[in-house]
Chain A
Amino acid sequence: GNSVTQMEGPVTLSEEAFLTINCTYTATGYPSLFWYVQYPGEGLQLLLKATKADDKGSNKGFEATYRKETTSFHLEKGSVQVSDSAVYFCALSPSGSGSARQLTFGSGTQLTVLP
């Protein structure tokens, strides 16, 4: 079956540091890949997505590139802010259409950014 593995957390960084959160996946066919973010007390929000190999998703300074050869979708940001403190989830959807049907999530990575 499908699965998503995220780097273990929590991650603590100083403001303006570089962020990488690793994500690898196992799936058949050509899944769509997502990063969701969950701020304290709020629901999950889509941060970025990619629907085919070599696509780069980007939003709010975050980027992730769909690497089929390494089955990875690592999240990066060049300079984190205190307001980026949240839990980040990598996820996949089994179809290539970007549909939310049957999302499979990783276990989440807690990010804390210190001023």
Chain B
Amino acid sequence: DTGVSQDPRHKITKRGQNVTFRCDPISEHNRLYWYRQTLGQGPEFLTYFQNEAQLEKSRLLSDRFSAERPKGSFSTLEIQRTEQGDSAMYLCASSLSTGGLMNTEAFFGQGTRLTVV
């Protein structure tokens, strides 16, 4: 299977700890997105990369959150000093953008479920 993969699938952490999630996009995709989904809600956009450049960040992405995509391939999302309100499913997606009107759909991973206790 060559879809978007995320690791870990589940993470339980104590409040105040740091956590890091990894996303491996579909190999030829140049865009990578992070979303957060809380229970009973739709996903909310956090940030996206085109290759290694982080082009947009939502106001939801507080200064405790940082995302990187160092070589334009996999990405990491780190949350520092976790709070109970950070408990959510963190979704990664990727797509191919060739400019203009030629863009593929976003393919989503299965997500990382974070529980902060």
Interface residues, chain A, with chain B CB atoms under 8 Å away: 4, 34, 36, 41-46, 49, 89, 91, 97-108
The answer to whether A44 touches B108, judged by C-beta atoms less than 8 angstroms apart, is yes
What is the interface of chain B, defined by CB distance below 8 A to chain A?
Answer: 3-4, 31, 33, 35, 40-45, 48, 56, 91, 93, 95, 97, 100-111
- A107 adjacent to B106 (CB under 8 Å): no
Given A43-B4, A107-B41, A108-B40: A102 in contact with B56 (beta carbons within 8 A): yes
Q: In whole angstroms, how far apart are the Cα atoms of A99 and B44 in the complex? A: 16
Given contacts A42-B110, A99-B97, contact A104 B105 (CB under 8 A): no
Q: Is the CB of A100 within 8 A of B110?
A: no
Query: Could you tell me if A105 and B44 are in contact, using CB atoms closer than 8 angstroms?
Result: yes
Q: Is the CB of A4 within 8 A of B42?
A: yes
Tell me which residues across on chain B come within 8 A of A4, comparing CB atoms.
42
